[in-house]
Amino acid sequence: MREKTPTDLAPKQLARLRYVLLAACVLATCVLRSQPDLTRWVQLIDQRAGYPDFAGFAERHPDAFVNGAVPHLAQEIGELDALENRLLAWENLPDLEDRAVQALLSDGMHRWQVLAALADLYLPEIQPLVEAAGLPRSFAWLPAMLTGFDYAYEGPGDRAGLWALDWPSAQILLDFTQPGTDPRMYVNLCTEAAVTQLAVLAERFPAEPHRVLVAYVKGPGYARNWSGTPGEDSALDEWLTLYRVVARLWENLERDRTTVAWVEDFSTWEQVPCPGPVDRVALVEWAGLDRRAQRTYLPWWTGTEVDCEAWEAAEVRLPRDLAQQLGEVDWSAWTPHSFADYSQSSTTEHRVSSGDVLGLIARRYGVTVREIKEWNGLKTDLIQIGQTLEIRGVIDATKADPRGPTSGRYTIHTVESGQTLWSISRMYPGTTVDAILELNPSAEPLLAGATLRIPLP
């Protein structure tokens, strides 16, 4: 994946990038609208805190998060950089600023502590690249403000990766020749590409870093015609106010850093060899790696089956317990026909609540919007509060160990009319009704067409 990086672009490629960024979107109507509003951004941060990598970090390092914390000013406060100076104009929107501060510091500063811990993970690598490109260091907050530091992000406008990198620019800046992968999901490649894109935009808007910021988010055409002052676009005003608040709180508030804890945490992760050309269903049903975990630890994987060449190139590393779990699986017994679909025990229901949209729900469970629509017979993206959606590929930690009581190997049985748990158990020597119920706690009442996970001896 390292054959072509932004820093190695030939002049012809840079010229093409400049054309895409500066000529292809010259009209104000070319608006990407990638910035989330405050409500969506809060949801992004809260979801990010629940993803397996961060949730595991928080569990292993509870001292990094203080219950009932209160803000304290740092002894030394950094000066405003050029971008922050330009954003001072949004200081005159106190209501928006108060809402942003409240969202970050309420509930014992929990959300701020989550964001700060994520910043400790990413900013040490991002800020040097930003400054080396001649950009103000506060540009390093763009990933936080667009994706909530989610390197596996997929969102509106076909944007993806840590920086919500747009598709046309990514096609120029990154190598998409590896089948079934999206290089935007590699943190280093996405960062290099985004910084290159910002540097090109800075050429178009010299000495106007706030316009560069808006051009990245909403397109050069919009940025060119934008007034550059508050009051023209209320949604953009809200986002720029939030951006300014986050960048300033980082400089103004005292806190303990978690960078060392992250380094210690990652040092325990283990490299895992490719299990073979297995599919997503098999990783859930056979290995206990549900779709959210797949999205977190294999974000670059966009295909149906694992490509071992891409797996080895990515040098996949997993937390020790997951690496051991995957290593215990006997993949030699697996065939492409082992699982026709996700079993009943790896299917859950999501009840739509206020603020839910399909994209947000899909990110929560690590699935795609297309899959949710297919599983629920939806023709459009419209959903209603109180509506129940079926989500597959989910492993509930409150249920039985998804790897089974002993071997971790399963087959899937589709229930036919007239069958009972006893009759099904008799079809699979070595299993019992209790063993089936242990793996399928929601099996009763037994319905024709339901799928059951059957442990193999």
Beta-carbon contacts of 186 under 8 Å, excluding residues fewer than 6 positions away, are: 1, 151, 161, 300, 314
- What pLDDT does residue 16 have? 59
Whether the Cβ atoms of residue 197 and residue 17 lie closer than 8 Å to each other: yes
Q: What pairs with residue 423 in β-bridges? A: none
- Rounded Cα–Cα distance for residues 290 and 348 (Å): 12
Q: What is the pLDDT of residues 237-257, one digit of tens each?
A: 999 999 999 999 999 999 899
- What pLDDT does residue 344 have? 79
Output DSSP code: residue 300: T
- What pLDDT does residue 26 have? 38
pTM for this entry: 0.82
Q: Which two tokens stand for residue 346?
A: 């790896």
- What pLDDT does residue 20 have? 55
What's the Cα-to-Cα distance from 196 to each of 174, 190, 318, rounded to whole Å? 11, 10, 30
- Rounded Cα–Cα distance for residues 79 and 84 (Å): 9
Q: Which two tokens stand for residue 281?
A: 């269903």
Q: 3-state DSSP call for residue 3? A: coil
Q: Residues in the chain with pLDDT < 70? A: 1-34, 337-338, 396-410, 442, 449, 456-457
DSSP 325-393: HHHT--GGG--TTS-SS--GGGEEEEE--TT--HHHHHHHHT--HHHHHHHHT-SSS---TT-EEEEES
Neighbours of 356 (CB within 10 A): 18
- What pLDDT does residue 15 have? 61
- What pLDDT does residue 435 have? 81
The angle subtended at Cα 262 by Cα 261 and Cα 267, nearest 5°, is 100
Beta-carbon contacts of 445 under 8 Å, excluding residues fewer than 6 positions away, are: none
Whether the Cβ atoms of residue 70 and residue 104 lie closer than 8 Å to each other: no
Q: Which two tokens stand for residue 165?
A: 């990198």
Q: What is the pLDDT of residues 138-154, one digit of tens each?
A: 999 999 999 999 999 99
